[in-house]
Amino acid sequence: MNPLPTRQLGANGPVVSALGFGCMGLNYGYGTQLEKPAAIAVIRAAFDHGVTFFDTAEVYGPFTNEELVGEALEPVRDQVVLATKFGFKEGELAKGTDSRPERIRAVCEASLKRLRTDRIDLFYQHRVDTAVPMEDVAGTVKDLIVEGKVLHFGLSEAGVNSIRRAHAVQPVAALQSEYSMWWREPEREILPTLEELGIGFVPFSPLGKGFLTGKISTDTSFPKGDVRNVAPRFSAEALQANQAFVDLLTRVAAACGATPAQVALAWLLAQKSWIVPIPGTTKLDRLEDNLGGAALTLGASERQQISEGLASIKAVGERYPAKVGAVER
């Protein structure tokens, strides 16, 4: 496989492989946990295939995902960009947000140890904390940058107002939010704001939590603990309605000799030069398939076919169950 092309996240952010690797699913979120040797093997295989950008968070596990990433990448630490996140009380999603300055510092110190490193390349606020002024959050990360413990500041799922407030205190290198063919809301306000401010964009779930690969149907059963079991978008009715997205991808993929996953990722990469998706997988063959998306260039006819197709399809089902609560846009 050819080396992956690189992209810079924002005007002053890190230079990374055009596709990163989302590590969460190796042992969190999807009801399956790879044994440590297998998880480490997947991470190292991603690096061997040219990936230099790896995404984790203290809440994944909690804590164990960072440990996997730290152990897997310690031998090549200076050749990769590590991203992790703070923002939940005691590192547990169910306990709500906590971005108090003292908590941010505590997470930083703990993450440094688990990641076996002396600096965090990209430190995201995992979700906006309405109880803590964004200026205090950005100011704390700015201090950590001055101290050399963090290199770049990021936000996740933040809205335009929060992005601007944070950026005014400490330049934001990247925003991480969901973005794919079946979740295009960032195109309305987020992408224009990022372009204006010189901030990179890191789409998570770029393959729609696996749906856009074409491997999921109404007959698919997910393991206990898999987030898709409670996501409205993955109800049988929604999956049937949303099959139109997969049908479109399948048609385009057949025309250009690629797979639906590769077309979905190539489409994202074509939107802006500062977009770096982070697909994740537990399978080596899927890893190789995904990375092929970075080598696929969609022609004018394919792009037109996708644009026309998307214009006539409306996604059915919410991303998250109502009990999760509203996520700031």
pLDDT tens for residues 108-140? 999 999 999 999 999 999 999 999 999 999 999
The tens digit of pLDDT for each residue in 164-183 reads 999 999 999 999 999 999 99
> What does the alpha-carbon distance between residue 264 and residue 245 come to, in Å, rounded to a whole number?
10
Q: What's the pLDDT band for 32 if we cut at 50, 70, 90? A: confident
The pLDDT of residue 203 is 98
Position 156 pLDDT exceeds 60: yes
pLDDT in tens, 298-311: 999 999 999 999 99
| pLDDT the model gives residue 329 | 31
Please give the share of the chain, as a percent, with pLDDT higher than 90. Answer: 95
For residue 130 the two structure tokens come to 């309405």
Burial class (CB in 10 A: 0-12, 13-18, 19+), 18: buried
pLDDT at 149: 98
**Active site residue: 30, 60, 124, 179, which one?**
60
Question: What pLDDT does residue 326 have?
Answer: 43
Q: List Cα–Cα distances, 185 to 166, 276, 315, in angstroms.
A: 21, 17, 11
- Tell me the C-alpha distance between 303 and 149, whole Å: 42
Burial of 110 (0-12, 13-18, 19+ CB in 10 A): middle
Instruction: Report the candidate in 201, 309, 214, 310 with the shortest Cα–Cα distance to residue 262.
Output: 214
pLDDT band at 322 (very low <50, low <70, confident <90, very high): confident
Whether this model's pTM surpasses 0.85: yes
User: Sorting pLDDT into bands at 50, 70 and 90, what band is 3?
Assistant: confident
Question: What value does the mean pLDDT take over residues 77-102?
Answer: 98
The contacts of residue 196 (CB under 8 Å, 6+ apart) are: none
Q: Nearest 5°: phi and psi at 216?
A: -115, 135
Give mean pLDDT, residues 63-89. 98
Distance CA 99, CA 105 (A): 10
- The rounded mean pLDDT for the chain is 95
pLDDT surpassing 50 at residue 226:
yes
The dihedrals phi and psi of 305, each to the nearest 5 degrees, come to -60, -40
* pLDDT above 80 for 2: no
Confidence of residue 323 (pLDDT cuts 50, 70, 90): low
Tallying the residues shown for the chain, one arrives at 329
Catalogue all structural domains in the chain, each as residue range(s) with its CATH number.
Answer: 6-210+272-296 (3.20.20.100)
Let me know if 285 is exposed, middle or buried by CB neighbors in 10 A (0-12, 13-18, 19+). exposed
Using the predicted structure, report yes or no on whether residue 250 has a pLDDT greater than 90.
Answer: yes
179 catalytically annotated: no
Closest CA to 171 of 145, 191, 132: 145
